[in-house]
Amino acid sequence: MSERSAEEVSPEAAAEDEVTRVDAAGSTVADRSVHLSAAEGAVLRADEVVAGYLPGINILNGCDLYVKPGELVGIIGPNGAGKSTLLKSLFGLVKVRQGVVTLKGEDITGLKANKLVSKGVGYVPQTNNVFPSLTIEENLEMGLYQAPRRFADRFEFVTSLFPALGHRRKQRAGSLSGGERQMVAMGRALMMEPSVLLLDEPSAGLSPALQDEVFIRSRQINRAGVSVIMVEQNARRCLQICDRGYVLDQGRNAYTATGEELMNDPKVIELYLGTLARV
């Protein structure tokens, strides 16, 4: 926190002060004290994660993140900020070069995706997220390949959230619309009964009506007891439904606060939301 008194600190500045501080030399550096205290008891957390795709080039530059039991957390930011890279780092798809990822206190940094699924982490990629030649039912079976005997029980749960999947279980996924495919992908990720579900831009490429459907379903999944971390380009809609939000910029945490606080923060509106937040 700077030398401003508590009375002088506006609500919108508070979010920034939680993420950065100015050192004695006048440089802005990360202030992790709020994260370290608030992340205690988190289901999934990332601490100072540095990651990238090519040698010597980092996309993430010290990201912090956590999700508590029952929370829906949104991640927004400009293109190239590292949002999807952060999600892939959590799921073992991008090498973490520094930092730690933990699940219920267990270090899972760099574990392969199949191991993470068995430990309770589900992941829905943005594209190529169904098997188009398989039926809806077969897609859901693929989500439970590590525990096939649980299919009847989990199929009942998933189709209680997505009734249309049960009614059309024999239809090939390749014949579905984009929104319907997204439901299949989300349903498949839920088959292993994850404690955390990672959603990478679930509304991308969908019509406004189908985007709303995806956000409604995401909230329903969360209310069913699954913690959700969602990366979204539709920043305003994401912040409307999330409990807390993170704004990433150039691979670093720029702002973090509740979804409502971020939606109404003048600096976040100006820099990241633009006219979307004023509609």
Residue 268 in tokens: 């976040």
Q: Which domains does the chain have, with CATH numbers?
A: 70-93+109-278 (3.40.50.300)
Name, in order, each residue with C-beta under 8 angstroms of 155's C-beta and a sequence gap of 6 or more: 137, 140, 166, 191
Terminal-residue alpha carbon distance, the chain: 33
d(CA 15, CA 19): 7
**Mean pLDDT computed over every residue of the chain:** 88
Task: Please give the DSSP secondary-structure letter assigned to residue 231.
Answer: E
What is the Cβ-side half-sphere exposure of residue 251, based on CA atoms within 13 angstroms?
A: 14
The whole-number mean pLDDT for each consecutive block of 10 residues of the chain, a chain of 279 residues, reads 36 43 44 89 97 95 97 96 97 97 97 96 94 98 95 96 95 94 96 97 91 94 97 95 96 96 94 60
Contact of 278 with 236, CB cutoff 8 Å: no
Residue 183, amino acid: M
The whole-number pLDDT of residue 197 equals 98
Name, in order, each residue with C-beta under 8 angstroms of 27's C-beta and a sequence gap of 6 or more: none
The whole-number pLDDT of residue 276 equals 42
The model's pLDDT over 219-236, given as tens digits with 9 standing for 90+, comes to 999 999 999 999 999 999
The whole-number pLDDT of residue 278 equals 42
d(CA 215, CA 187): 14
The whole-number pLDDT of residue 32 equals 86
The whole-number pLDDT of residue 30 equals 56
Coil, helix or strand at residue 24: coil
Place of tokens 């955390």: 196
Q: Within 10 A of 236 (CB to CB), how many other CB atoms are there?
A: 19
The model's pLDDT over 60-102, given as tens digits with 9 standing for 90+, comes to 999 999 999 999 999 999 999 999 999 999 999 999 999 999 9
The whole-number pLDDT of residue 155 equals 97
